[in-house]
Amino acid sequence: MIKPFLILAVIATHYLANAQNSITTSGLLSIDTHWITDTVFLSGDLTINNGILLTIAPNTKVIAHGYYKIDVKGRLLAIGTPNRFITFTIQDTTDFSDTSSIRGGWNGIHFENIQTNNDSSILKYCKISYGKAIGQTKKEQSGGAIMIDNYSKLTIENCEINNNYAAYSGAGIYIHQNSSPKIIKNLIHHNKTPWQGGGITCLENSAPLIHQNIIINNSAIGIIIRPPWAVGIGAGGGIYVSSVSQAPMISNNLVSNNSSYGGAIYESANYIKIINNIIVNNSEYGIHNATQVGEGIYANNTICNNIEAGVMSFAPNLTLYNNIIRGNVPVFDPRDPENVDARLNGWPRVYHNNIGNPINLSGRGNIDSTTLFVRPTQTAGITELGYNADWRLRSNSPEIDKGFVNNIAAFIGDKDVFGNPRIVGNAIDIGAVEYSPISTISITQEHPNIKVYPNPFTNQLWIEVEHSSATLTYHIFAINGQLIDSQLISNGINLIQMADFSNGTYLMHIRETTGKQLFSTKLVKM
């Protein structure tokens, strides 16, 4: 009679915990568990045992009391909703900026060496912040928010991953050793490392899909001081990829205002594909290719207004199709080519690109003509917000129908960066955005503490509010004046899902509850 009693006691405790407003937990999770509660406090490391499922309900806050981690050996389903994110963070962020200690941070979510009999894990509509990878080994110093090692059955979608730190690599997401997760439609921002991969790192024969993300304001900048000299280090402010035998796909992302000494996207992957991305206003290179044997393909990207070259290449077998590479500004040595540069004679092959001042480039169908964007930034670098600009083509832009279609349709996809048809008939435009008739966006009322991006957008919109003591509400109207949507928004970053809206132009107002209007803009859904 003792065994049944113990089993019933465990089950009763499990359901009672879920009925409380908060629970405190740590140790080994050995039965399937569903957290339906306001707050879960981690008082130590939590391990989800092999074969065990942890499900977390929308709007749950998971708060670490100290430097603890969630170690997934079974399955984790953390699926929120657009208005009820699941939050992962630490209770006390004091001294998070002290990069010499673990204080102020927690140890993130780990997916490492999970047995293949476990089904998929999903992180969806989650906010993950103040992860801090500090330790003695490179592995312990990697993966500030999320560590993925030898595991592919993971989808990270519609999450906000911000303000995480890694002493070595992958401050936001670290992908290692034969791992191919799907990283889709996330906002990844303000993550920091001194070495590699401010936003995302991908290493050791991994082939993730990195698709439709907004990757902004991340950094991979460090300094080695050896008197009497110092040298800057750090590569891949937004994304760092080193994967020899696999083919990672980086597609349809907005990569902007990231900082490093080695590229917003740094890649030393032999077969990488970088397709349909807007890569703008980053500090030090748009894309930095660093392998002489690379046979990667960059196609239909808009790579503009970055500091240093738009593309730095070491690989003569690298091929560039249909990219706009203009307005990039070399600073370290102004004599360097500003748009496509190379070292060790690694000049790539180029076909049907618009490249400003091309030098030593072999190929055909290329042009050197001023691009007519709808509303670009005016200067290079991070002083202007590239993600708050409009990189669509005007009706008289020289890139329209000038792209190369043959042999690339199979991998370029059927949608541009905004989800519009990519190849119309047998014609394709140069750049990340396929031209369609537009109405020019005009900001009718700006506010220094409110940003709405990206604009144009496809299915989701992010509203960033800083330092507001008032309660704010957004209102979205159709052009005929009909109110379409209205919701309260809070300080910080708010996700607005607009997948059900028809393509077209809308008007957004952001107001205080008193009725005072603070911000107004036209929105374009594509």
SS (H, E, C) 9-40: HHHHHHHHHHHCCEEEEEEEECCCEEECCCEE
Q: Let me know how long the chain is.
A: 526
The phi-psi region of residue 284 (left if phi > 0; otherwise alpha if psi is between -120 and 50; otherwise beta) is left
Considering only CA atoms, which of 162, 205, 203, 210 is closest in space to residue 182? 210
Considering only CA atoms, which of 416, 504, 494 is closest in space to residue 461? 494
| Structure tokens given for 253 | 């992302």
Q: How far is residue 511's CA from residue 501's CA, in Å, rounded to a whole number? A: 22
Asked if 56 contacts 42 with a C-beta cutoff of 8 angstroms, the reply is no
What would you report as the CA-atom Rg of the chain, rounded to the nearest whole angstrom? 24
Amino acid at 171: A
Considering only CA atoms, which of 385, 393, 525 is closest in space to residue 455? 525
pLDDT (tens, 9 = 90+) of the chain, 526 residues, equals 333 333 333 333 344 345 579 999 999 999 999 999 999 999 999 999 999 999 999 999 999 999 999 999 999 999 999 989 999 999 999 999 999 999 999 999 999 999 999 999 999 999 999 999 999 999 999 999 999 999 999 999 999 999 999 999 999 999 999 999 999 999 999 999 999 999 999 998 999 999 999 999 999 999 877 777 677 789 999 999 998 778 899 999 999 999 999 999 999 999 999 999 999 999 999 999 998 888 999 999 999 999 999 999 999 999 999 999 999 999 988 888 889 999 888 899 999 999 999 888 878 999 999 999 999 999 999 999 999 999 999 999 999 999 988 877 778 888 899 888 888 778 899 999 999 887 656 667 888 899 999 999 888 899 999 977 788 999 998 877 788 899 999 888 999 988 888 888 898 899 988 888 999 998 988 8
End-to-end CA distance of the chain: 65
Q: How far is residue 125's CA from residue 234's CA, in Å, rounded to a whole number? A: 30
Q: How far is residue 160's CA from residue 493's CA, in Å, rounded to a whole number? A: 9
Asked if 525 contacts 501 with a C-beta cutoff of 8 angstroms, the reply is yes
Q: How far is residue 311's CA from residue 330's CA, in Å, rounded to a whole number? A: 11
Q: How far is residue 167's CA from residue 275's CA, in Å, rounded to a whole number? A: 30
Q: Is 116 exposed, middle or buried (0-12, 13-18, 19+ CB in 10 A)?
A: exposed
> Which stretch of DSSP H or E encloses residue 174?
strand 173-176
Around Cβ 439, how many Cβ atoms within 10 Å? 11
Find the largest Cα–Cα distance for the chain.
84
User: CA angle 487-128-261, nearest 5°?
Assistant: 110
Considering only CA atoms, which of 197, 62, 88 is closest in space to residue 143? 197
User: Looking at residue 16, what is its pLDDT?
Assistant: 36
Q: How far is residue 132's CA from residue 135's CA, in Å, rounded to a whole number? A: 10
Distances (CA, A) of 27 to 20, 43, 146: 19, 9, 19
Around Cβ 212, how many Cβ atoms within 10 Å? 24
Q: How far is residue 397's CA from residue 430's CA, in Å, rounded to a whole number? A: 10
Considering only CA atoms, which of 479, 471, 458, 454 is closest in space to residue 511? 471
User: Looking at residue 442, what is its pLDDT?
Assistant: 66
Q: How far is residue 337's CA from residue 81's CA, in Å, rounded to a whole number? A: 47
Considering only CA atoms, which of 246, 294, 300, 322 is closest in space to residue 312? 294
Q: How far is residue 309's CA from residue 340's CA, in Å, rounded to a whole number? A: 6
Q: Is 51 exposed, middle or buried (0-12, 13-18, 19+ CB in 10 A)?
A: middle
Q: How far is residue 264's CA from residue 139's CA, in Å, rounded to a whole number? A: 22
Backbone angles phi, psi at 411, to 5 degrees: -110, -10
Q: Is 100 exposed, middle or buried (0-12, 13-18, 19+ CB in 10 A)?
A: exposed
How is 489-507 classified by DSSP, letter by letter?
Answer: E-SEEEEEE-TTSPSEEEE
Amino acid at 79: I
Q: What is the DSSP letter of 151?
A: -
Distances (CA, A) of 215 to 80, 210, 353, 445: 21, 10, 24, 26
pTM, whole model, 2 decimals?
0.93
| Structure tokens given for 70 | 């969630």
> Which stretch of DSSP H or E encloses residue 410?
helix 409-412
